[in-house]
């Protein structure tokens, strides 16, 4: 069975493999051993930290196949972005060029560099190995973070965002960055992406254009990808939209991929989650009448989540699970689990 849990120091080789597999454009997992070890150490410290407000914590999870011990995916939450390093976006908006004398009225799209999401909670570092992209695995890896946020509400901001990977080819070439590189930079997209991933962001402030960029002055190729997602990222953005996330015009400064946002209390899984009391029994899942749920304990450092097919009793507030599932979720009879449809 597959169980989501906080990362451990012993997961480093698996995380390094995932960093290699994830490819270009996956800024939050650069192939850098020291940085990955630091990410794990920071996550372990964040789960152990006592706090009642979000600051610089980073919570990194892995999806483990308990039968083989193999780590097959990862996802993460940044409690509050931009508190240590500047957090940049372009905001897509319009200016009006008009002249009554000439009877001209034209709305023009512009991109303005900003730090508007400073302090927001960010969903990030989502990657599931190709062989496991089936059934509920991807949804569990992504959406179980909402249950964690709900259970530990004080640790997170009111606004939750997710940066979606923008359009680039198999070699890591981004049409949007190609235009920026030609006019303002002298480095290719993979290099800029890597430097950002390892925390070297000073060059952004030093070299990025200080004034708004008129979108109609971009190359046709760059214009076409503003606010568009990478083909492999379409399922992820559709999942977030189904949870209530919306695009409000913020795009990544490197590949122009969209950033989506939601108020935490408006996220469907947060809003509709239930708390049920555990009952342990050796029962088989009925062939009919069951529904798929993500199920999570309420722990912090020992957080566990799974996807289960269940029939929930209508006449009480119990959830009936097998001894094996109870062991995997680190719960006993009489404990509680938070659940939401997956």
Which residues participate in catalysis according to the annotation?
Answer: 230
Cα–Cα distances in angstroms (integers) from residue 147 to residues 88, 110, 211, 269, 289, in the given order = 28, 37, 40, 7, 24
Nearest to 167 by CA among 89, 127, 208, 224: 224
How do beta strands 70-78 and 318-321 pair?
unpaired
CA angle 237, 231, 160 (to 5 degrees): 20
Determine whether 154 is exposed, middle or buried from the number of CB atoms within 10 Å of its CB (0-12, 13-18, 19+): exposed
Sequential DSSP letters for 14-82: HHHHHHHHH-TT-TTS-S-HHHHHHHHHHHHHHHH---SS-SS-EEEEEEEETTTTEEEEEEEEESSTT
Q: Which residue has the tokens 């569990």?
A: 140
Answer for the pair 111, 91: CB distance below 8 angstroms, yes or no. Answer: yes
């Amino acid at each position: 069975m597959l169980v989501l849990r906080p990362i451990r120091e012993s997961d480093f080789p698996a995380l390094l493999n995932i960093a290699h597999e994830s490819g270009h454009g996956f800024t939050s997992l650069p192939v850098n051993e020291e940085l990955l070890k630091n990410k794990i150490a920071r996550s372990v410290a964040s789960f152990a930290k006592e706090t009642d407000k979000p600051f610089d914590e980073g919570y990194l999870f892995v999806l483990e196949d308990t039968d083989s011990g193999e780590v097959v995916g990862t996802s993460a939450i940044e409690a509050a972005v931009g508190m240590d390093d500047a957090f940049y976006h372009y905001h897509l908006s319009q200016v009006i060029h008009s002249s009554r004398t000439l009877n001209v009225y034209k709305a023009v799209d512009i991109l303005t560099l900003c730090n508007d999401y400073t302090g927001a909670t960010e969903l990030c570092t989502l990657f599931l190995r190709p062989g496991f992209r089936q059934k509920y695995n991807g949804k569990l890896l992504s959406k179980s973070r909402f249950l964690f946020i709900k259970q530990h509400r004080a640790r997170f901001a009111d606004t939750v965002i997710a940066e979606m990977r923008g359009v680039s080819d198999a070699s890591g070439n981004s049409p949007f960055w190609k235009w920026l590189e030609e006019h303002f930079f002298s480095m290719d997209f993979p290099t800029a992406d890597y430097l950002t991933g390892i925390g070297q962001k000073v060059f952004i402030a030093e070299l990025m254009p200080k004034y708004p960029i008129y979108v109609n002055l971009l190359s046709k190729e760059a214009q076409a990808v503003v606010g568009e997602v990478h083909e492999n990222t379409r399922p992820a953005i559709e999942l977030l939209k189904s949870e209530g996330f919306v695009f409000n015009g913020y795009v990544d400064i490197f590949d122009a991929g969209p950033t989506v946002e939601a108020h935490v209390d408006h996220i469907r899984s947060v809003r509709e989650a239930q708390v049920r009391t555990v009952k342990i029994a050796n029962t088989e899942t009925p062939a009919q009448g069951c529904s798929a749920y993500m199920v999570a304990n309420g722990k912090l450092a020992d957080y566990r989540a799974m996807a289960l097919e269940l029939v929930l009793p209508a006449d009480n507030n119990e959830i009936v699970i097998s001894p094996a599932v109870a062991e995997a979720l680190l719960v006993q009879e009489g404990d509680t689990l938070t659940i939401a449809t997956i």
